Amino acid sequence: MRAASVSDYRELARRRLPNIFFEYIDGGSYAEVTLKRNVADLEAIALRQRVMRDMSKLDMSVQTLGQTLKMPVGLAPVGMAGMYASRGEVQAARAAAAAGVPFCLSTVGVCSIEEVAATGTPPWFQLYMLKDRGYMRELLARAKAQACPVLVFTVDLPLPGSRYRDVRSGFTGGSALQAMLTQARDGIGHPGWTWDLFMRGRPHTLGTVQGAVKEGRRVTDFLAWISKNFDRSVTWKDIDWVREQWDGPIVVKGVLDAEDARDAVKAGAQGLVVSNHGGRQLDGVRSSIAALPRIADAVGGDLEIYMDGGVRSGLDVLKALALGAKACFVGRAWAWALGAGGQPMVARMLDTLRSELAVAMILTGCANVRDAGRDLLDLP
């Protein structure tokens, strides 16, 4: 099958990846109500079609936090991407750089900060508040040494969400031996993935936190360390500590409430991501797109607002811009594309989003994405 849409990359990834990794990418928490809302609420928004306008010139570029993006899209932090394709974070970072959009490296990526930065385009770096402040300080110093331009500070993960699919697939909930046996059995049925990962993709550790887990040998060893180090005591005052270690822009990721958005402004953040963690944390909360307008109204003039969650097309991107986002970050879309075929598929997926965004702009009469506003939507 030749992929034509994001849903096609999902299907190709389902075919190529072992079940435990596909379900890890694809699933959400509990009954996945919020996961479904993220997509459904975007689908329900109607664009306002306009005609007879000069659309011969389109400008998709945006300026944000000292960078120029060729289109208002970025690759969100996705954990363990190096288990979907060999050195997956590196492949995705190269595709993003070629497209002129940012790549955000997850703390729990297989590839380290240094390995991704060696591509020539330092990534945005995503970090959690960890109990081990000493190791946090080391990570921030490493990101700064690699000239990472932006710190994305995830605040909606004081503990991991409960994801039933991961238990059913055998990824979590069992012994380490059971996990190894499940992966081995899955690998036998997916020889293309197995050859790619085990011949070209080693080591299978979480490169950025490898130094903190000296005895770690498998990805699950590092995930267990991260899980134990999530800090439930974190408050907005902890941003002051982060700022002592980091003098670049800070983007707070995981905000759904306007009051929290105001607190992010008070804490000195330069940006925030309206996000429910892709429906992977607290199930039953509102979708990102539903939360976006009131946050944009509350703090849109005070910092940069981005959104992630449920973005499956360039049309979705334009809807989010119309409701107040500066850009959208996609997570599953690029993870599916990576799992489907590595860097070439991620590049093609980004081209798909660009083409779809162009169509949406032309047919709504929006020649410049920076002018996108609620007049582009057919609101009730």
Q: Is 277 a catalytic residue?
A: yes
Rounded Cα distance between 14 and 271, Å, is: 34
Distance of CA 332 to the CA centre of its chain: 7
Exposed/middle/buried for 362, CB within 10 Å: 0-12, 13-18, 19+? middle
SS3 11: helix
Rounded Cα distance between 131 and 349, Å, is: 37
Quick check: 364 and 50 in contact, CB under 8 A?
yes
Residues 6+ apart with CB under 8 A from 6: 312, 313, 333, 336, 337, 349, 352, 353
Catalytic pick among 87, 277, 312, 326: 277
Quick check: 122 and 135 in contact, CB under 8 A?
no
Q: Is 305 left (phi over 0), alpha (psi -120 to 50) or beta?
A: beta
Rounded Cα distance between 357 and 347, Å, is: 15
Please state the three-class secondary structure of 229-277 as a single string: HECCCCCCCHHHHHHHHCCCCEEEEEECCHHHHHHHHHCCCCEEEECCH
The residues assigned a catalytic role are: 277
